Amino acid sequence: MIEIPESKILSFQANEVLKGKKVIKVFPPTHTHKLAWFEGDPILWREN
């Protein structure tokens, strides 16, 4: 897990790289994970 100061720096870097860009495709998870929670039916994720 990152610390608060690291998160601040990463947020600035992400803002520089990602500003003005658009997400066109997202890949759904392939297996369950203890640190990730998802909403809805996994079968329907690809439809959205």
pLDDT score, position 17: 97
Instruction: Say if residue 30 is exposed, middle or buried (CB neighbours under 10 Å; 0-12, 13-18, 19+).
Output: exposed
Tens digits of residue pLDDT in 1-48: 899 999 999 999 999 999 999 989 878 777 777 777 778 787 777 665
pLDDT score, position 7: 97
pLDDT score, position 13: 97
Joined tokens for residue 46: 């690809």
Phi, psi of 41 (to 5 degrees): -85, 125
pLDDT score, position 36: 77
